[in-house]
Each structure stands twice: as structure tokens, then as C-alpha cells.
Amino acid sequence: MYYKLMGNASYAYFHIPKGTNLAGYSDRPTGCLGTHDMLATKSLTITNGDETIVIITNDLLSVDKEMVQGVVENINERYSIPEKNIFICASHTHSGPEITGFEIYDYDKKIDENHKKLKKEIINIISQNALKSLDNLVPIKIGFGKGQCDEIACNRIDKNFKVDKNVYILKILKTSGDILALIINYSCHPTVMGSNNLYVTADFAGVVQNLIEKHYKNNCIAMFTNGACGDQSTRYTRKEQSFKEVKRLGNILYKSVVNIADAINKYEDTISMECIKTTYEFPMKDLPNYNEALTRYREAKLLKEQALNNNVSSAEIRKAITRYQGASITLKLIDLFKKENKIIDFIHIIKINKIVFVGLPIELFSEYGFKIKSLSKYENTIIVDYTNNLLGYVYTPDSYKDGDYEAWSSPFRIDTGEIIVTDVLKLINNLED
């Protein structure tokens, strides 16, 4: 059914104490020294009188099952919102608090009581902010736009490989004409800042959100979602790993977003919505035997040492280090899989009229993102990685054969990407037109 549209958006900041371990890199020597820019949680509520959806974005490396369940339960203490209608994702900044993580990616670090306490505080902040977006709903209308952004994302495995330059914008206006919110989708790891950074930052995703909000005189809440970015980063486009470079790249994306948003001239105030959150068993990797994995580890270790001792680019050094880390994780996987034989999580889909958001708890390689988008029956199909959880990379067979970090650190089978494409398309095809 179609009803007049109502909605609201809200935001809140996380306060990260000095000394908090930062997530995303394994080789930081200490906890954070302070905060460069505040991390935020942002929530958008849309209701058509029949269905209500809540989209929550977070400037964090990831969310996990505990966080999602906590937020859903807290929301439902006041509002009866089905779990499938609450869509929670993260930007994947590598300079946020280390409060989540698939076991093998913690590199044997234990989350101490202070970090557990911080996690509970963050769950509460996300929940309370989401509840704010469910209050005081106003009449709204929705527009959609898409375009491209050059100069930021590259394929981090090989700079000559295909890059996803697409930028998608969901624009929410109050019927008065004022902007309420923009949801931005762009595929790129927010890792301009490297492991030597010890300050909290949302990276370029934070810059673009802040600039958009200032551009629209702080009447707009900008929300960043990441696409199929498993192999997309700034490794070969950034000039350096500095806050100056974060600002430069954030400005490039900001200009693209504003151009796309301002060109939107078609809006709808009556829409249909449909949500699916289905349990999904991800195919587990057929691991090499221990001796093969150990040989790969030793080779990667030697290549890392050669890169560090020779005059090669910072991008090549980073590639050698991550390849070594991937080989190390494979050894951990062999031990882990003696105890675990299933990886079960969710695929989460939200359809707003003919715009489809596909939420995945993984880091999907762009090749599979392109396939889903090109084969979907809906022209405007958007991939959102880091939704509900973070389980690992879904890589290409070539990446595994080449010994890349992403493939060798992944718990997933070599054909998982093609399987996910097929299964996601089946779910999309079952959506009502």
C-alpha cells in the first residue's frame, strides 16, 4: 500500500577515552592519544503508515551481533519495529575504537573490561539516537541520484584493475523544501590514515559528511555507507597518509555528492517499502594443509622484510605487510576451523520504491558488487558492506591464487562470491514490484 511519507533524522557523537585501542590495524604500539575528529552515529526513520524502517550508520570499523541485538531490543522497549526493518551498518574507519571483531582479526588481543564498558556505552548511544529519529516525525519526500567520483578509490590489489567510481544518493526533504538527510554510498576503504595514526578519526568519510552538513547550513544530516569495497581503497591515489590528505580526498567526494544531490529534481511523497533479513550460511574455506600454509607464511615474511629493507613505494610496502598478515591469519584459521564448522549470519535487504539496499556482513570484492548491480531487476541496487557484522573478505579466485592478503585472511571458500551473487539476486527477484 502507499501512504503519505513521514520521517526524521538524528545524530549523536561517541566519546572515545584516551588510551582506547583503535581497530583496523594489528601493529599499533599503544592506545589512542586523543581525538582528531568526533565519530558519530546517525539514524534516519522513514514510515509510510504501513511500514517503518530505521537506517543507522556509524563511524566505526564494524558493528557485531551483540551491538545489533542490543540496539534492536532497546528500540523495541518503546516502539514495535521488526528487526528486519532496522538496518545497522558501519563506515569501516580504521581509527575507531576496538570493540568488535571476528575472532581471528583480533590478533589474539583480548577486549578488556574498559573496552567492554565502552562498547555498552556505544550501544546505548546508538539506541538513544535511533529513538530520537523515531520521535517528532514530519512530512517528507524522497529523491534519488547517482553519479561518479574520480581520484579517490582505486583497486588496492592492482592499480590497473577496475574501480567502482559510482556514488549513490538518497535525498530526504521535508515538504517545506529543507533537506533532512542525505544517505551517501561509495565504495572505498576509509584508510587514508595508516597504522601509525594514534588519533580517533572517521577518515575521509567523516570529512565528506561534515562538509555536506556545513554546505546545507547544518539542516542536513549526512550519512555514509560503504559499498562493495573489499578491494577498493586509496592505496594508489593518496599522496601521503596525513590528515591533510584526508581533507583533500574528502573534499573531492564532497563536491561530487553535492553536484549529484543538487541535480535531483524528482521527489516522491508516497512510497512502498519492503524489508528482508534472512539467515544465511556462508561457505567455509577449504583450507590448505598446515605445511603449505606455513610455506606461504615464510615466503610472505621474507617478501615483507625485503620490502621494508629496500627502496620501494609505501603502497608496495603496505601490500607486502598485508600479504604477510594474510598468511599469518591462514595459520590461525586452520586452528579455528577445528572448532567451528559453520559461519552463519544475515543478508539484509531494504527496498524503498525501486531503490534496493543490499546489506552484507562482509567485505565484498567490487567484481561481485558490479555483478549484483548489473543483473538486478532494479536499476538502482546499492551494496552496503559492514551491515550487521564483519566476517571477512569475499575475494576472487585469482586473488587467492596470487596469495593476496584479502583472500588468505578470509574464512570463506573460493567460490563464495559467485554463490552470494546468485543468492542475493534470488532474494531481489522475490521482492514485490
Q: Output the tens digit of pLDDT for each of the chain's 433 residues.
A: 446 899 999 999 999 999 999 999 978 989 999 999 999 999 999 999 999 999 999 999 999 999 999 999 999 999 999 999 999 999 999 999 999 865 444 434 557 889 999 999 999 999 999 999 999 999 999 999 999 999 999 999 999 999 999 999 999 999 989 999 999 999 999 999 999 999 999 999 999 999 999 999 978 999 999 999 999 999 999 999 999 999 999 999 999 999 999 999 999 998 899 999 999 999 988 777 888 888 888 988 888 888 888 888 888 887 888 888 778 877 777 776 765 667 899 999 999 999 999 999 999 999 999 999 999 999 999 999 999 999 999 999 999 998 888 998 898 999 999 999 999 999 999 998 8
Query: How would you classify the pairing of strands 52-58 and 86-90?
Result: parallel
Query: How would you classify the pairing of strands 34-35 and 273-282?
Result: unpaired
pTM to 2 decimal places: 0.91
Torsion of CA 98, 102, 105, 109, to 10 degrees: 60
**Grid coordinates standing for 320?**
607486502
Per the document, the length of the chain is 433
Pairwise CA distance, residues 261 & 215, whole Å: 12
In sequence order, which residues have a C-beta less than 8 Å from that of residue 29 and are 6 or more positions away?
A: none
Pairwise CA distance, residues 414 & 383, whole Å: 20
